[in-house]
Amino acid sequence: MILLNYEGLTGRVITPCDPEYALARQEWNKAIDTFPRAIVYCRNAQDVANAICWSRKHCIPLRVRSGAHHYEGYSSGTGTLVIDTSLMNHIKVDTCQNTVTVEAGTRLKDLYQTLSACGYAFAGGTCPTVGISGLVLGGGIGLSTRYLGLTADNLIEATMIDANGNQLTVNQNCNRDLFWALRGAGGGNFGVVVSYQFKIEAVKKITLIQLRWENKPARLAFLEVWQEWLKGLDRRISGFGGIYKKSAYLNSFFYGTPAEAKEILAPFLSIPGLTLRTIECVDFIDAVNIIGARYERSAFQSPGGFVFRDFSREELEKFIQIMDQAPSDTTSRLAVYSLGGAVRDIPETGTAFFYRSANYIMAVSSEWQNKSAAPAHQAWVAEGFKYLKTLTCGSYVNFPYNRLKDYQEAYFGEYVEILQYIKRKYDPENIFCFPQSIKPAESVRNDLKSFPFEAE
C-alpha cells in the first residue's frame, strides 16, 4: 500500500495502523469484508468537506457511511476513504413547528427515544441501529409507513456537501431537482448529506401487534390472507410479515385501539395454529423497542421486488416449495412489507421513489453465522430471487443485491435518465461512485419539460 499523507483530513482518522481499525472497518452485514485505506469519523460539515477535497487531491475513491447497514457493503470498500458520519448525531425537536432536525449519523433508536420523550412518532424503520441517512435516501419503509408515509415523504429539507466541498441547501424551493432525487435515490450518489429536517406526528400510544404460527400449513394461508387483506386496508395499520420453513409471522403497528385492531386482523386470527397473539396498547417507544429487540448482527442477503398484483394459488405454492428447500428453519424466510395508504398520497412523480403505487415489497432473505455456510444460503437466495423477479417489478434500493445486472433500471425504473442528468449536474466527475451508483449522463440536458420538477 502506498504511504499517504493524511494532512488535510480533520475529524477522527483511523488507518490500518491503528488498533481501532479492525472494529472500525466492520459493517453490520458480517458477509462484508473490506479494507479501506482510511476511515474518517467526521464531527461536522467542514470535516466532510475536507475529506471530499482530500480524496480528490490524492485520487482515493470515496464511500459514504452513516449506520454501516448497507446490505452489500457499498458504504465501505477496499482501498477507499470512508466518510463516516456516525459522530454527527445531534437531534433538535421543534414542538412549535412539529419538526425535527437530525444530523446524518443519527441512529433510529436515538431518534425514536428523543421524539417519544416529546410526544412524537416517526416514520422510520424497525432496526434500531440503522442510520437515518441510508433509510431516508432510499425511500424508507417501516411499521408506520401506511399512516405516516415513507421516511422520504416526511423530509422537508436537507443539507448536502457536494463534490467540490460546497454546502448546499436542498428543499422544494432550492436545488429542487436534487431534492426530488434525494428522496428515493440519494444514497451516496450526489454528495454527502449532513443533516435533515423532517415533519413529525404527535403520537403517544399505538397498538402493537405480534402474531406467530408455528406450523407449516399456516404459511400458504398467511400468503393468501396477506394479499387479500391489503385491499382496502385501513391506512392506520402497517405490517411486516412472512414465512419460514415451518412457520409464519406478522408484526404491525396500528394507530388506533386494540378493539379496532382485532376486527381488522380477523382474517389472520382465523388462521389455525396461532401460537403468539399480542394486540395491546403501548407507548410508541415501547413498540419500536419490542420490535427492534429481535435484530442482531449476522451475515445475510435479502433482495426484494415490488408486488403490484395478486399471485395465483399455483404461484403461492411455488413460494412454499422454495421455502421447503431453505438452508435454515429459522433464518431463511420470504418476507413481505406493506405499502399503500399514505405512500399513495404523494403523486407518483413527486419523488425519485419510482414504485410508489406497489401494494407491497416481497424479499427473499437468509442469514448465516459461519462463513462455510455462505454458499448454500447465497445459492438459495439467488434461486428464490430468480423466481420472485418473474412475478414482481424492479428492486428496492434499500434491499440492494449485487447480482442485479440492470441495477439502475431495477432500482429507479423510468427515472434513470432523469437521475443521470441530475448526477451530471451535481457530480459531473463521478466522485461519488460505488458498484451500483447512478452513472452521470454523457451530455448536459437543458430541456426539463418532461421531468417531474420545474427547471430552475
Give residue-wise pLDDT tens across range 5-47.
889 999 999 999 999 999 999 999 999 999 999 999 999 999 9
Better-scored residue on pLDDT, 453 or 140: 140
Indicate the range of 301-310, 368-377, 445-454 predicted with least confidence: 445-454
Give the pLDDT confidence score for residue 442 in this predicted structure: 87
Q: Which three cell numbers stand for residue 48?
A: 466532510
Angle between helices 176-185 and 416-426 (to 10 degrees): 120
Give the pLDDT confidence score for residue 4 in this predicted structure: 75
CA 25 – CA 71 distance, rounded (Å): 15
Angle between helices 313-324 and 374-391 (to 10 degrees): 180
Read off the pLDDT of residues 338-360 as tens digits, 9 standing for 90 and up.
999 999 999 999 999 999 999 99
Residue 124 has pLDDT above 90, yes or no: yes
Evaluated on CA atoms 67, 72, 75, 77, the torsion sign reads: positive
| Residue 456's pLDDT band (cuts 50, 70, 90) | very low
CA 381 – CA 373 distance, rounded (Å): 13
Q: For 347-375, what is the mean pLDDT?
A: 97
| Residue 121's pLDDT band (cuts 50, 70, 90) | very high
| Residue 452's pLDDT band (cuts 50, 70, 90) | low
Residue 438 has what DSSP assignment? P
Residue 1 has pLDDT above 70, yes or no: no
The strands making up 99-103's β-sheet, listed across from edge to edge, are 91-94, 99-103, 192-199, 155-161, 167-171
CA 229 – CA 226 distance, rounded (Å): 5
If you compute the radius of gyration of the chain from its CA atoms, what whole number of angstroms results? 22
CA 140 – CA 396 distance, rounded (Å): 10
Neighbours of 156 (CB within 10 A): 15
CA 374 – CA 160 distance, rounded (Å): 37
Helix (H) or strand (E) run with residue 389 in it? helix 374-391
Give the pLDDT confidence score for residue 2 in this predicted structure: 54
Give the pLDDT confidence score for residue 87 in this predicted structure: 98
Residue 455 has pLDDT above 50, yes or no: no
CA 411 – CA 139 distance, rounded (Å): 11
pTM of the model: 0.96
CA 259 – CA 378 distance, rounded (Å): 42
* Residue among 141, 88, 144 at smallest CA distance from 120: 144
Evaluated on CA atoms 237, 411, 134, 423, the torsion sign reads: negative
Residue 326 has pLDDT above 90, yes or no: yes
Helices and strands in the chain: count of H runs, count of E runs: 14, 19
- Buried-state track 427-438, b at ≥16 Cβ within 10 A, e below 16: beeebbbbebbb
Residue 303 has pLDDT above 50, yes or no: yes
- Buried-state track 174-195, b at ≥16 Cβ within 10 A, e below 16: ebebbbbbbbbbbbbbbbbbbb
* Residue among 199, 197, 198, 183 at smallest CA distance from 351: 183
Q: For 246-270, what is the mean pLDDT?
A: 98
Full 3-state SS string of 260-298:
HHHHHCHHHHCCCCEEEEEEEEEEHHHHHHHHHCCCCCE
Q: Which three cell numbers stand for residue 18?
A: 491503528
Q: What mean pLDDT value characterizes the chain?
A: 96
Give the pLDDT confidence score for residue 444 in this predicted structure: 72
CA 453 – CA 438 distance, rounded (Å): 19
Query: What single-letter amino acid sits at 337?
Result: Y
423: region left, alpha or beta (phi > 0 left; psi from -120 to 50 alpha): alpha
Read off the pLDDT of residues 63-117 as tens digits, 9 standing for 90 and up.
999 999 999 999 999 999 999 999 999 999 999 999 999 999 999 999 999 999 9
User: How much of the chain, in percent, has pLDDT values that exceed 70?
Assistant: 97
| Residue 383's pLDDT band (cuts 50, 70, 90) | very high
Q: For 293-298, what is the mean pLDDT?
A: 93
| Residue 446's pLDDT band (cuts 50, 70, 90) | low
Residue 233 has pLDDT above 80, yes or no: yes
Give the pLDDT confidence score for residue 443 in this predicted structure: 77
- For the chain, the helix, strand and coil percentages under 3-state DSSP, each to the nearest 5: 30, 25, 45
Residue 447 has pLDDT above 80, yes or no: no
CB 96 within 8 A of CB 113: no
* CA 163 to chain CA centroid, nearest Å: 24
Read off the pLDDT of residues 315-324 as tens digits, 9 standing for 90 and up.
999 999 999 9
CA 18 – CA 290 distance, rounded (Å): 37
* Residue among 155, 45, 27 at smallest CA distance from 101: 155
* Residue among 76, 162, 105, 83 at smallest CA distance from 431: 162
Instruction: Please list the residues that pair with 249 across neighbouring strands.
Output: 212, 242
